[in-house]
Amino acid sequence: MQITIHRGTKQIGGNCIEISSDETRIIFDIGDELPEVNENKERERIIPDVQDLFLSSEKTEKPIDAVFISHMHGDHIGLIDKIKTNIPVYIGKYAFQIWNTIQEFTNRAQVDNPIRYLFNEKVISIKDIAITPFLIDHSAFDSYSFLIECNRERIFYTGDFRCHGFAKKYTVAIQNNPLLKNIETLLIEGTNLYKDNFIAESEFELSKKVEKVMVKENTVGNVFVLQSSANIARIQAIYNAAKATGRILLVDIFTANILCKLPKRIPNPFTFDDVYLFFPMALTKKAINDKPHLFKPFGKFKIASDELLNRKDMVILVRESMVYEVKKRIKTENSCLIYSKWEGYKEEYKTAEFLELFDTVVDVHTSGHADIPTIKNFVSALNPKTIIPIHTITPNKYVDLFGEKVKFQDKNSII
Ligand SMILES: [Zn+2]
Ligand SMILES: [Zn+2]
């Protein structure tokens, strides 16, 4: 097999990898770039070798057979609505539903391609290449890594991963799987390699930390949480802490639409009697009239306005657009805000302005990516002959850790 990394060897995100045989061409991830990470740097281009992925040209004799998406973060799926609509897309069911909900709420394009769902360890054969998806722990729900096999050669692509979230058992299972030992090539992410000796806090530890903030001795009033609505592990951690401290969880209608698509064990207003929702004022009547299916089923779980205004025992998931809620609709006396996103977003104007609404801001966050011991353990478990770095700004750090096994892909430098 031949590996061509169209983008992602020298930056975090925007992954696009092609793995091909004489017969078959498969793309793994078709990500957009993360603008906030890549400011002030020259962008890696992906167009030249894969234009038949996007355009209806016959330039390449051999068309692309399929696109596999590891997870629903924009830096892995972001260009999916730009590819030719005849190419089948393989993705986790929940990942696709979360992505679709976000697209629908933000009035962005849906995908017309044939969609096929991935199932853990269920092999998919595409001509002479066999792909086995393996669930893996990451901050995106329903994330997969892939074993790619052809003529006894085996490549493993991690996608984004970690081993300190609630889905860590999946990462451990890959490491313990005897069938995955001694593979030829490991394509492994290294987002955190730029931090020397970095060890990540677990989502479980994070939940305990949040619990300390939520107890009445420390916060008498409501607790607001600024985090991504698509970070399901974090919502779970926040819910656990809310429950342990006798508070109810309040989510907005957008977050509720995501949660209700997921397995029933994930907190959601339909099946959890301590999860309620509210409709933010930023949502117009037009949106509610145009897309009633996103709003109507949730009406009965809506918290009453006077309760919203008077209760002091709530944990409320918020976004920067909810200024009106914080100022007028919810009690902020003796409250605090838990900031639970990447530190860098604080520099964005809308986030900085939102944070100013609160007297107390507590930072609680952990990485969605593997720390250094996890990367070392993973490499040692799979014991690959060759390691190819991806999703990293410090590819040379792999050489420090793993020596001559590391090979670089320079294809993406062609413009
Ligand atoms: Zn990523
Ligand atoms: Zn990711």
Could you read off the pLDDT of 327-377 as tens digits, one per residue? 999 999 999 999 999 888 899 999 999 999 999 999 999 999 999 999 999
Predicted local confidence at residue 175, as pLDDT: 98
For residue 341, the CA-to-ligand 1 centroid distance in Å is 15
Ligand 2 center to residue 45 CA distance, Å?
20
Considering every ligand atom shown, identify the ligand nearest to the alpha carbon of residue 7 and give its number: 1
Q: In the chain, list all ranges with CATH 3.40.50.10710.
A: 203-363
Q: What distance in angstroms lies between residue 264's CA and the mean position of ligand 2's atoms?
A: 23
Tell how far the Cα of 75 is from the centroid of ligand 2, in angstroms: 7
The pLDDT tens digits of the residues spanning 186-201 come to: 999 999 999 988 999 9
Where do we find the tokens 């391609």?
Answer: 113
- Which tens digit of pLDDT belongs to each residue from 220-274? 999 999 999 999 999 999 999 999 999 999 999 999 999 999 999 999 999 999 9
Residue range 132-159: mean pLDDT, rounded? 97
pLDDT of 413: 38
**What pLDDT score does 374 carry?**
97
Tell whether the model's pLDDT for residue 414 goes beyond 60.
Answer: no
Is the predicted pLDDT of residue 411 greater than 60, yes or no?
no
Q: Which of 43-47, 73-77, 188-192, 261-265 has the lowest mean pLDDT?
A: 43-47
Spacing, Cα 175 to ligand 1 middle (Å): 21
3-state secondary structure of 176: helix
| Structure tokens belonging to residue 123 | 């092999």
Going from the Cα of 78 to the center of ligand 2, the distance in angstroms, rounded, reads 11
Instruction: State the pLDDT at residue 141.
Output: 97
Spatial contact of 193 and 392, defined as CB atoms under 8 Å apart: yes
Diameter of the chain by CA atoms?
68
| Whether the Cβ atoms of residue 310 and residue 331 lie closer than 8 Å to each other | yes
* pLDDT for 44 beyond 60: no
Angular region, 62: left φ>0, alpha ψ -120 to 50, beta rest = beta
Ligand showing the shortest atom-to-Cα distance for residue 34: 1
The CA 260 to ligand 1 mean position distance, Å, reads 25
What secondary structure, in 3-state letters, does 358-410 show?
Answer: CCCEEECCCCCCCCHHHHHHHHHHHCCCEEEEECCCCCHHHHHHHHHHECCCC
pLDDT digits (tens, 9 = 90+) for 101-128: 999 998 888 899 999 999 999 999 999 9
CB burial string 392-403: b at 16+ within 10 A, e below: bebbebbeeebe
The token pair that represents 250 in the structure block: 């309040």
Report the distance separating Cα 135 and Cα 148, nearest Å: 14
Q: Could you tell me where in the chain the CATH 3.60.15.10 domains are found?
A: 2-197+368-413
Ligand having the closest approach to the CA of 139: 2
Residue 290 CA to ligand 2 center (angstroms) comes to 31
Q: Is the pLDDT of residue 96 over 50?
A: yes
- Beta-strand ranges (E) seen in 221-354 are 223-226, 248-252, 275-278, 314-318, 336-339
**pLDDT-based confidence at residue 35 (cuts at 50, 70, 90):** low
Average pLDDT value for the chain:
91
Residue 397 near residue 191, CB atoms below 8 Å: no
Domain 203-363 classified CATH 3.40.50.10710?
yes
State in Å: Cα 76 to ligand 2 middle.
Answer: 7
Q: How far is the CA of 370 from the centre of ligand 1 (A)?
A: 12
CATH assignment, 2-197+368-413: 3.60.15.10
* Predicted local confidence at residue 165, as pLDDT: 96
Burial class of 304 by CB neighbour count within 10 A (0 to 12, 13 to 18, 19+):
exposed
**Strand pairing report for 115-118 and 89-92:** parallel
Q: What is the pLDDT of residue 415?
A: 26
Q: Tell how far the Cα of 77 is from the centroid of ligand 2, in angstroms.
A: 10
Rounded to the nearest angstrom, the distance between the alpha carbon of 369 and the centre of ligand 2 is 8
pLDDT per position as a tens digit, 272-323: 999 999 998 877 777 778 888 888 899 889 999 999 999 999 999 999 999 9
Residue 412's pLDDT is: 47
Measuring CA to CA, how many Å separate 67 from each of 50, 70, 148, 334?
12, 10, 13, 50
pLDDT at position 46: 54
> Considering every ligand atom, which ligand is closest to the CA of 138?
2
| pLDDT, average across residues 157-168 | 97
Distance from the CA of 389 to the center of ligand 1, in angstroms?
Answer: 13
- Measure the CA–CA gap between 73 and 79, rounded to whole angstroms: 11
Could you tell me which residues come within 8 angstroms of residue 261 by beta carbon, excluding any fewer than 6 positions away?
A: 94, 97, 98, 101
**Residue 296 alpha carbon to ligand 2 centre in Å:** 32
